[in-house]
Structure 1
């Protein structure tokens, strides 16, 4: 079951997250500014924000099986259509449609993890499943970027979409929902509004979700701009710049597993402190990037991107667990969707803002410093969350 969830998550991310590494080529093709390139991942996560809550509610009622196939069809079809468009506005619209499926996959697969695994196993299992996102993004940089540079991004993306659709069929064929999912009571629309009120009034859920705005947005800034930063500012070749993106995403995949194991075994399921450590590491590495000289070599960038990716791309599984565990398990799909929707606001706003700041100042320094400021705010919010959880535990 975990393999099915991982396959679906990986292939959807392989297509959806390709707008980051392929941004430089799409930008050249459509003659886009840095800010407009930043709007591509923002459009993806706008779709995620729209879909996450309603899909979270639906998956709580229906289970994950059928939705795995429908989501794969949604993302694959929209990105195939995108390869035929030469209008930036229509490309953005289709990326939003693809984002509906990309965002829907999170609560659907999270729901499967929560119901198939016990609490002391979920950190590791969620970490494995969430590596599908960073691995998909890494593969987009490793496979799609060089192929797109040779054959054109349109042909390569269209072929990859067919692979996604076939993967969706495989996941649908072999996955089945747990007994706990299929035996639970169904809820009507009125109960949806009641459940939403419960989400909004849950202070720990709100705090972790707002923190995720900064963490998710900063992660996408790294994914979207690290290739452009290395290619244009550090004068590293496009291929090696793509390799650095792959390195950061591979380390993010490792981080999602390692952070999950650490939270399970060393902290006994206490995961907020892990998010605080991650925000601290991300802030320090972003400060280093802000002041690197233009003569910085590929070899120097390797350890920096490794640490940055391990932290900022490795937080996701911990976040998903916290968002699911601060509510009753019957709301795990909805709480994931609710938290993802709020977290998506950061991804919608921060990459274009990062690009605007770089365009305005004519330098990447101000953009990386902005990320440092965001990490400081996130750390303070997580400190409040930690205190809130301890207060509730005392009662």
Structure 2
């Protein structure tokens, strides 16, 4: 794919400004993830306080991603219309308000509603920041930039476990949520105040306004975008399945205990953070901005890693666990940055927000479908081994979608 004509490259000042804007986008992304995903590590404390069952606890992250799925397309349209700068603060404000409201509810239904509404703000951040990357970075720099920005999601998730949970244990979960929301407010103000749109954006307004139905129809009939979105459906679902079930598999089924299982969870998250930067950097530096060769390697590694999980035993050396979980996270979670790049680059710049929102909608469905499916498989088989095998096979199906995209379009 060729560089979009709206990007500006070659200027030292422009490059410096681009990295400054990336820093602001990353800061906002980290705090949005810290708050949005902070419910997960705090869920045992929330369950104890509100007397929730395990099934009810499982509904909390589902509500978050349901909100993200519902808003992905509308938010993409909104960001294309009003830009990144204005929405940075609005997203941080709304997410903080709805999550802060969880500290005063006593009903499970209202708790789910607050998280669902917060999830809508959480999901809006993706097209908001994706658009910023698209307009500030040329194609041959965009892979690393998008990877760094997407790293903010896994970094925020890791910080939620490392910082919010100890703070909640020292105080309570309500204080932890409230503190994180206040920090998010501050970051929203700072990021929005300091962030500037690329001057070229204002020169590239779409002169032909289209109806909402026309815009969505354009996305739905874009076969290239559908193919990468279907691949994201599988990779996103696989990523969340790894996050959810690694503790159960390593700690309970393989009898390593929660201490080692927790370490493997952290390693997979660290691997995912590194992967989002490294894969994008490789596509920029070694393949001149082409995404296919790197995506192919990534999916082969991810599928192989998932299948390798079935060969683990209670006597497997811990260092092998470390290598495998880091590598699996590096590949499965590392796909996210490449996916966002491909989705935005498959459409016109004026539709970048809508394209990422549309693709995110389909990708979010994978998060809601695959973990329950793989969990059900483990229930009826009595082991997670079949689940890992199925995951590996599904990733190969995702690879098939990417191969079809490659055949249709050189990327």
Do both proteins adopt the same fold according to a TM-score greater than 0.5, normalized to the shorter chain? Answer: yes
Residue 32 of structure 1: which of 53, 58, 63 is its match? 53
Aligned equivalent of 1:317? 337
Q: How does 1:123-138 map to 2 (within 5 A)?
A: 123-138=143-158
Residue 246 of structure 1: which of 252, 256, 266 is its match? 266
Q: How does 1:1-395 map to 2 (within 5 A)?
A: 1-23=21-43, 26=46, 30-33=51-54, 36-149=56-169, 151-185=171-205, 190-238=210-258, 240-296=260-316, 298-390=318-410
* Cα separation, 1, equivalents of 2:27 and 2:150: 10
Shift of 1:363: 2.9
Q: Does structure 2 retain, via aligned residues, the 8 Å contact 1:204–1:388?
A: yes
* Cα separation, 2, equivalents of 1:89 and 1:76: 19
Range with bigger deviation, 191-200 or 41-50 = 191-200
Gaps of 5+ in 1: none
Shift of 1:239: 5.0
Partner SS for 1:269: coil
Q: Does structure 1 retain, via aligned residues, the 8 Å contact 2:205–2:350?
A: no
RMSD: 2.4
Q: Does structure 2 retain, via aligned residues, the 8 Å contact 1:21–1:245?
A: no
Partner SS for 2:37: helix
Range with bigger deviation, 309-318 or 137-146 = 137-146
Q: Does structure 2 retain, via aligned residues, the 8 Å contact 1:273–1:386?
A: no
Shift of 1:314: 0.8
Shift of 1:372: 1.7
The alpha-carbon distance between structure 1 residues 235 and 93, as it changes in their structure 2 partners (threshold 3 A), is farther
Shift of 1:227: 3.1
Shift of 1:329: 1.1
Shift of 1:358: 3.5
Q: Does structure 1 retain, via aligned residues, the 8 Å contact 2:255–2:314?
A: yes
Encode CA deviations 1:96-139: one digit per residue, 9 max, x unaligned. Answer: 21111111000000001111111111111111111111111121
Encode CA deviations 1:212-239: one digit per residue, 9 max, x unaligned. Answer: 0001111111222323433433444545
Which of structures 1 and 2 has the bigger CA Rg?
2
Number of paired residues?
390
Partner SS for 1:143: helix
* Cα separation, 2, equivalents of 1:207 and 1:20: 31
Encode CA deviations 1:293-320: one digit per residue, 9 max, x unaligned. Answer: 2455654422121101111111111001
* Cα separation, 1, equivalents of 2:45 and 2:35: 15
